[in-house]
Amino acid sequence: MQEAIKDSELRELFEKYSCYVGRILLGSQILCGFITAIVALAFTVSQYHDLAVGRLVYISLLAGAFGALLISITCFADSSFSWLAPYISWVTWFLCLTSVHLLYALFSPAEPLNSVVYVFALLLATSVSHSLECLAASVMTILTALSFLLPVILSPVCQPLRPFQLSGAVIFCLFGTAVSLYLRRLWERQQKCMSEDSRPCIESRIKMECEKEQQETLLLSVIPAYIAVEVKRNVMSKMREATQESTALKQQFYDMYVQRHNNVSILYADIVNFTPLSEKLSAANLVHVLNELFGMFDEIAQDNQCLRIKILGDCYYCVSGLPVSRPNHASNCVTMGLSMIEAIKMMREATGSDIDMRIGIHSGSVLCGVIGLRKWQFDVWSDDVTLANHMESGGVPGLLRRMHAMLFDDVYCLTEAGANDDLVPAVFSRRVHITYATLMELNGKFEVEPGNGKSRDSYLAEHSVETYLIKRPKDFSVFELKGRSNLIRNKSIECWGVDKPFASTSEAHIARNVAKSFCGSDDFYPLLMTFRSRGLEEEYGKEEDHHLRLSSAMAFLAFLVCAVLHFLHLTPSTGMLVGTGLTGIFLMICFAFVWLRRPKEDVLFRRTLLLSFVNLAIVLYTGIPLFFHHDSWSMAVSTKDSRNSTDGESDSFLAHSESPCFELPLSTAAALVSISTSALFLRWHFLLKLVTMLLAIILHSVWLLVFRPRRSMEGGGERSWELILAMCLLCGILHSLNANLEKSLRLKYLWNARLTVPHEDEETMRVLNKVLLENMLPGHVARLFLSRDNTTQGLYHEKYSSVAVMFASIPNYKEFYDENDVNQRGLECLRLLNEIICDFDKLLLKPKFSSIEKIKTIGSTYMAAAGLQPGERKEAEGRTRKEEQNLVVMVDFALAMMAVLDQINKESFQRFKLRIGINHGPVVAGVVGAQKPQYDIWGNTVNVASRMDSCGQMGKVQVTEDTAKCLEAAGLELEFRGPTFVKGKGTLTTYFLKTIFDARPCP
């Protein structure tokens, strides 16, 4: 699927670029036609006479047509332009061709050769018809040439001069056709090379951008942006240090990314009765329900300016006031809690279960950030966080009387349930439970009633915490239900439509952004078309021009055409022959240098100098002889006059030299040939080409407007403006082509340079991605998310038949933690916890523990599981052996943790003890959460393992009876503890694992 997206997006990229270039080229062609029509209209008005009336009307209509076409191509969208462009190109060509021939046929019927200059411009204009296929453009070019040649050949005008007319017209048109086809071939090959050569570069760029966005998504899903910046900077710094030999001493402590925030509110929410529901659901349905529910919670949190901290099984907690301090943080959390109650109501009706919410809120200060080396998860720590947790566990457990449900409809009030009351599960039985500190922050915004939390939680009673219950407002509608009304009717969670994890990471979106950045690069100046980097400009200048030899041959052909046109137009003289010979010898030397030698250094300077001399020589050869034509022309006229008195015959050269219908077009034809020569060279800067073309125009214009009228025959000077306009028209068309060729060449080089030149930052980014991914998701899960299209495939979930789950807590860390000025309000206490967790994480780097996956840390509790490798759920053979392997490696890891903590106690003079609970059995693993995806495991196995820890003893490893049997079968010794009450599970038979740490006294 990703390959299909990549191909379609790359195809769309080149289509957009092609459309962009085609629109500019076609637009410039139409614009030139429009400007020509406007200028012609102005000259016609200035020279108004009876004959100009029809011409005035025709040119006005022509200008209107060009204007309409110009507006149309600017208004069409890319999709419309792509299929309309060929038709617009044919219409534009037809308008140009018919206008040229009709104007001269209707208003200058005796001078058919005068249209040759516009036909030549039209021939070259077809070469820039980028919207047409190569065959269509070639047909257009040939039709243009024939439309001029056939009328000239068949015309009865100027019969005495027919050989000279035909020879000049044929040579000129054939050269124009050859140049047009060559430029078209040059353009097609350049675009093809650009597409083929740049594809790997763009694919690499898209891949890098995808990796970057996915890395950002993963990182920000775990860590807020303000901490993520510091994490990335430190990781990159360590990566650079690792590549260099350093004798620096090892740092004393591990890095810790923790900050203190005051004036925040903490919300804890627990889903009551979720475990029975989870046992009824399949793995896929369980993950889907959790993703929908927690995804909805994430949306509510975002709407209420709360930051989700973590998901602990079926417990959800968040904070308002992070990372930006907010004066309404308490109100945000209360509104969040009320909205969560609305959300759980929808879940209850959709699943037909009796699940509910228990919510506790407290306001105070927190230490927030990430600790450890692996599986980073943003968390908060402080006494206020502990209190908020107990506010949730001390929430109201009441039921509703049925009469209250009927009396107050959908508004419920809590009362104590009597023994004989007819009771139903409460729709809003769980109330938002807040402390006095939170109540003070609400400023009377919500009505409250006494919460009596001390009667339901010993911690609240021990610390004499006054609690209150929020009364649900009757007009409460913060959580929008209108768009989810079909959920209640259909009892289906499929219609909720919460985003899937990583669904925002769109390769198509990235490819479009890459396309936009590549089509409009900021790496070179738009007017000068030179790279902003001097080094990049120098390297670009060293690029070899593979078309230079063929372009040189075409340029020499242009010189020969100019020479032939001069000899057909001007009276031969010694100076003219010498000039032609010297120019030809100079050009042959230059072209021999091109063909026989390939410069190795300073390619740009030598090539620019060489091509400048070549084009300047052709321009000067074309223009200078016209200024010395006066003497030979006058001599020819005198000779002709004397011969006319005695003989009616005249010399052919003299006869055609005084023909007004032939002399002016051929002189301008030579100028047009010299103008077109500059466009033949691909890697000559387009501004130098423009200067050369303008020089040729100026030179010929001076001759036409200053020198030519003094000796012009009747009618010759009246057409000077038309010839100058034709040269300007050709200059505009070629300049548009040259500018776009220059841009495409530079873009191609720029893209390839980004691909071929190794970028240290890109390589660092790839390594950083790998490091960050390994610290957020299990390896196989991360690879799965990065290798597939998560917008179309289902949620990730995996069901395992037997997984060993461990919870390891440090109960006496709570006694050690103290918030006073000496330890920076608990920061130094947290630093020691970070050292402990980091040393635990380092154990996972050992090969023997490679099958163990750290799931998360909850305060000072470390959660891990063994047997979560992909494909484990499909293994049926050797199940018992696999159970033993998972349990044995988990027990070894638990013992290694106890040894590590014992060493830390010696170094820090502490007496910390681990309390460990282990259980094994089936679990469901998956990734849930739309805004902040999180990997987790669920199932009764996980819940029992957690209870084995909470009801265990410090310094011991407690296991269930089934787990004990497996461990005994593996050769481990266990101690029978006996029946043990387990909260939520009743009485279970448990065992303690015998270890070397048993003889050591507990503190």
The pLDDT tens digits of the residues spanning 466-511 come to 999 988 776 665 444 434 434 433 444 444 444 455 554 455 555 5
| Cα distances (angstroms) measured from residue 977 to each of 988, 992, 993 | 10, 6, 10
Give φ, ψ of 740 to 5 degrees: -70, -35
Q: State the pLDDT at residue 425.
A: 40
Does the structure show a pLDDT above 50 at 660?
no
The dihedral region occupied by 983, where left means phi > 0, alpha psi between -120 and 50, and beta the remainder, is beta
Contact indicator for 654, 640 with CB cutoff of 8 Å: yes
Distance CA 138, CA 185 (A): 10
**Rg of the chain over CA atoms, in angstroms?**
43
239, two tokens: 């990566």
Distance CA 534, CA 540 (A): 10
Q: Which of 848, 874, 983, 1000 is catalytic?
A: 983
- Give the mean model confidence (pLDDT) for residues 263-268: 94
- The 3-state DSSP class for residue 494 equals coil
66-80, 660-674, 810-824, 836-850: the lowest-pLDDT one = 660-674
941, two tokens: 């196995």
> Would you tell me how many other CB atoms lie within 10 Å of the CB of residue 592?
11
Give the residue among 870, 860, 884, 865 at the shortest CA–CA distance from 950: 860
> Would you tell me how many other CB atoms lie within 10 Å of the CB of residue 493?
21
Q: How far is Cα of residue 843 from the mean position of the Cα atoms in its chain?
A: 38
Q: State the pLDDT at residue 47.
A: 62
Tens digit of each residue's pLDDT (9 = 90 or more) over 132-155: 677 777 788 888 888 877 776 666
- Give the mean model confidence (pLDDT) for residues 935-963: 92
Give the residue among 244, 240, 297 at the shortest CA–CA distance from 268: 297
Give the whole-number percent of the chain exceeding pLDDT 90: 19
Respond yes or no: is residue 326 known to be catalytic.
Answer: no
- Give the mean model confidence (pLDDT) for residues 666-677: 84
Q: How confident is the prediction for the chain on average, in pLDDT? A: 75
How many Cα atoms within 13 Å fall on the side-chain side of residue 297? 34
Distance CA 288, CA 291 (A): 5
Matching fold, domains 260-395+430-490 and 796-993? yes
Give the whole-number percent of the chain exceeding pLDDT 70: 70
Q: Which of 947, 965, 985, 994 is catalytic?
A: 947
> Would you tell me how many other CB atoms lie within 10 Å of the CB of residue 395?
28
Give the residue among 263, 130, 127, 281 at the shortest CA–CA distance from 191: 130
Respond yes or no: is residue 947 known to be catalytic.
Answer: yes
Contact indicator for 820, 812 with CB cutoff of 8 Å: no
Contact indicator for 311, 935 with CB cutoff of 8 Å: no
Q: State the pLDDT at residue 897.
A: 95
Tens digit of each residue's pLDDT (9 = 90 or more) over 672-683: 889 989 888 888
Q: State the pLDDT at residue 353.
A: 77
- Delimit the domains of the chain by residue range: 2-204+546-756, 260-395+430-490, 796-993
Give the residue among 78, 145, 38, 2 at the shortest CA–CA distance from 516: 78
Contact indicator for 982, 988 with CB cutoff of 8 Å: yes
- Which residues lie closer than 8 Å to 642 by C-beta, 6 or more apart? none
Residues making up the chain, counted from first to last: 1003
- Which residues lie closer than 8 Å to 978 by C-beta, 6 or more apart? 989, 990
Distance CA 310, CA 379 (A): 7
Please name every residue paired with 993 in a beta bridge, in sequence order, or none if there are none: 957, 974
- Fold of the CATH domain 260-395+430-490: Alpha-Beta Plaits (3.30.70)
- Give the mean model confidence (pLDDT) for residues 311-335: 89
**Check whether domain 796-993 has CATH 3.30.540.10, yes or no:** no
The number of helices, as runs of H, and strands, as runs of E, in the chain is: 33, 18
251, two tokens: 């740092």
- Which residues lie closer than 8 Å to 272 by C-beta, 6 or more apart? 355, 356, 357, 358, 430
- The bridge status of strand 432-435 relative to strand 356-370 is parallel
Long-range contacts of 650-656 (CB under 8 A, 24+ apart): 652/163, 652/164, 653/571, 653/572, 654/571, 655/160, 655/161, 656/161, 656/164, 656/568
- Give the mean model confidence (pLDDT) for residues 797-823: 90
- The bridge status of strand 915-928 relative to strand 934-938 is antiparallel
Angle, helices 52-75/78-107, rounded to nearest 10 degrees: 170
- The 3-state DSSP class for residue 28 equals helix
> Would you tell me how many other CB atoms lie within 10 Å of the CB of residue 817?
19
What is the DSSP annotation of 60-111? HHHHHHHHHHHHHHHHS-HHHHHHHHHHHHHHHHHHHHHHHHHHHHHH-TT-
Distance CA 111, CA 115 (A): 8
11-20, 168-177, 738-747: the lowest-pLDDT one = 11-20
Contact indicator for 804, 887 with CB cutoff of 8 Å: yes
